[in-house]
Structure 1
Amino acid sequence: MIGISEIETAAGRIAGHVVRTPTVPSPGLSELLGVPVTAKLELLQHTGSFKARGATAKLLSLGEAERAAGVVAVSGGNHGIAVAVMAAALDVKATIVMPRSAPARAVEIAEASGASVRLTDDMDGAFALMTRLQQEGLTLVHPFDDPVVIAGQGTVGLEFAADAGELTDVLVSIGGGALISGVAAALRALRPGVRIWGVETEGAQAMSEALAAGGPLPVALSSIVSTLSAPAVSQLTYDHVSALVTEVLVVPDREAVRGSLELAEHAKVWAEPAAGCLLPAARQVRERVGDGARLGLVVCGGNATTGDMIAWSRRFGLR
């Protein structure tokens, strides 16, 4: 299990390389949900998501031989962008493996950063190719099954605990589970009374299915939210969530897209559906907790184009 000391070490390591993103009360979301809401704006991070933290922590931990070999990462979008951009900044050669369903913008940014991008038919194929490239000698920067990466993502929770006012409940999106594992570890140490809720989209339910089964297992992926679409969580992230997280809530893709539109309208931030899914989940938490709720939202990323949002809105009949 990752502890606060590992997270504080990661914070010191990545300081100067990543942004200490704003933690702000949101009057618009507070009015919308009927209770005070504070947002941690990780979409303002380098590369548009929290992923820069874990990628930077891992890259800075590598020895000379590991750096010289070059790194490989698998991603539904944001982790690939982060590894490509931060590797270029640190003069490390990167290969990024993504499914063809990954956002075109993610592929473009990774390639523009100088990374070699390899596309596969689906996420299962992307993880398989990642494993082969690692076996061929590239250094793996795993999106979630790595304690250094989890500690890096945990710096989000370290900052949230220091900068937010009173909180009763914090909501965090889940893909492979590194972000919520790190945030939960930090908050449990620094704000032990706060409940942590995970949020997934239907068709990207690797953590909730693992919790129901008693351990990680492969899941079928069908969500439009590629940045949350891990084919399985790891034992490491499962252990953290099962021990530290109150519950994992699952919301439909349509409501995640609606949440992104509501974040734009009410919070004035441009968030991808991986963050938009927090709003329908926040409504569930608010109903269960009651009027005394003080909600914190980790707005994890903003790497959706206007074209993406228009297409999804039309698909689901949203305005």
Structure 2
Amino acid sequence: MIGIADIEAAAERIAGHVVRTPTAASPGLSALLGVPVTAKLELLQRTGSFKARGAAAKLLSLGEAERAAGVVAVSGGNHGIALAAMARALEVKATVVMPRSAPARSVELVESSGATVQLTDGMESAFALMTRLRQEGLTPVHPFDDPVVIAGQGTVGLEFAADAGDLTDVLVSIGGGGLIAGVAAALRALRPGVRVWGVETEGAQAMSEALAAGGPVPVALSSIVSTLSAPAVSQLTYEHVSELVTEVLVVPDREAVLGSLALADHAKVWAEPAAGCLLPAARRVLERVGEGARLGLVVCGGNVTTGDMIAWTERFGLR
């Protein structure tokens, strides 16, 4: 299990390489949900998501030979963008394997940072290709199955605990589980009374299916939210969530897109559906915990184009 000392060490390592993002009370979201809401704005992080933290932590931990070999990662978007940018800054050669379903803008951002992109038919084949490239000598930077990466993502929780007011419940999106594992570890150490809730979208339910099965299992992916679409969680992230997280909630893609629109309207932030899914989940949390709740939302990323949002609003009849 990742401990607070690991997360604090990661915070020292990545200081100067990432942004200490704002933690802000949101009057608009508070009015919308009827309770005080504080947001951790990771969409203002370098590369537009929290992923820069884990990528920086991992790259800075590598030995000279590992750096010289070059790094490889799988990504549906944000991890690849972050790794490519941090690798360029640290002068490390990077290869990013992405499914063809990844947003075109994400692929462009990875390539513009100088990384090599290899496209596959899906996430399962992307992870298989990463395994082969690792066997050929490249150094893997896994998006979530790595304690160093998880500790880096946990610095989100470290800052949230230090900067937020009194919270009762914190909601965190789940793809492979690296972010929520790190945030939950930090909050359990620093604010042990706070409940942590995970949120997934339908068709990207790797963690909730793992919890039901008693361990990681492969899942069929169909969600539009590519940044949450892990084909399976890892044993490491599963163990953190099963021990530290109150519950994992699953919301439909349509509600996640509605959540992104609501974040724009009420919080004045441009967030991707991987963060938009937090709003419908927050309403369900409030139904369960009752009065007196004070919510924290980790707004994990904002790498979505206006074209994407227009297409989704039309697809789900939200205009």
TM-score greater than 0.5 by the shorter chain: yes
Q: Secondary structure at the match of 1:285?
A: helix
**Where do 5+ consecutive residues of structure 1 fail to align?**
none
1:313 aligns with 2:313: yes
Mapping of residues 1-319 of structure 1, within 5 Å: 1-319=1-319
Please give the root-mean-square deviation of Cα atoms over the aligned residues, in Å.
0.4
- d(CA) in 2 for partners of 1:40, 1:32: 17
Q: Distance in 2 between matches of 1:289 and 1:318?
A: 29
Could you tell me which amino acid in structure 2 is paired with residue 184 of structure 1?
A
Partner SS, residue 197 of structure 1: strand
Identity level (%): 87
Q: CA deviation at 1:288?
A: 1.0
Q: CA shift at 1:289, angstroms? A: 1.1
User: C-alpha distance in 1, partners of 2:134/2:309?
Assistant: 35
SS of residue paired to 2:219: coil
Q: Which amino acid aligns with 2:256?
A: A
Deviations 1:186-227 (A, max 9, x none): 000000000000000000000000000000010000000000
Q: Secondary structure of the equivalent of 1:55?
A: helix
Q: What residue identity is the alignment partner of 1:307?
A: G
Question: Which digits, 9 at most, give the CA deviation of each residue in 1:211-253, with x for residues without a partner?
Answer: 0000001000000000000000000000000000000000000
Q: Which runs of at least 4 in structure 1 moved beyond 2 Å after TM superposition?
A: none
Distance 2:276 2:301 in 1: 9
Number of aligned residue pairs: give it: 319
Cα deviation digits, residues 51-99 of structure 1 (max 9, x gap)? 0000000000000000000000000000000000000000000000000
Deviation, 1:117, is: 0.2
Distance (whole Å) between structure 2 residues aligned to residue 243 and residue 219 of structure 1: 22
Q: Distance in 2 between matches of 1:29 and 1:131?
A: 42
Q: Distance in 2 between matches of 1:29 and 1:201?
A: 21
Aligned-residue offset at 1:291: 2.0
In the alignment, the residues of structure 1 paired with residue 270 and residue 99 of structure 2 have an alpha-carbon distance, to the nearest angstrom, of 24
What letter matches 2:131 in structure 1? T
Over residues 1-28 of structure 1, what are the superposed CA-to-partner deviations in whole Å (9 max), with x where a residue is unaligned? Answer: 0000000000000000000000000000
Distance in 1 (alpha carbons) for counterparts of 2:193 and 2:211: 22
State the TM-score, normalized to the length of structure 2.
Answer: 1.00
**Whole-Å Cα distance in 2 between the matches of residues 25 and 279 of structure 1?**
15
Normalised to the residue count of structure 1, the TM-score between the two structures is: 1.00
State which drifts further: 286-295 or 42-51.
286-295
3-state SS of 1:297 partner: strand
Q: Distance in 1 between matches of 2:64 and 2:185?
A: 30
Distance 1:18 1:309 in 2: 27
Unaligned runs of 5+ residues in structure 2 are: none
SS at match of 1:304: coil
Counterpart Cα distance in 2 of 1:278 and 1:224: 16
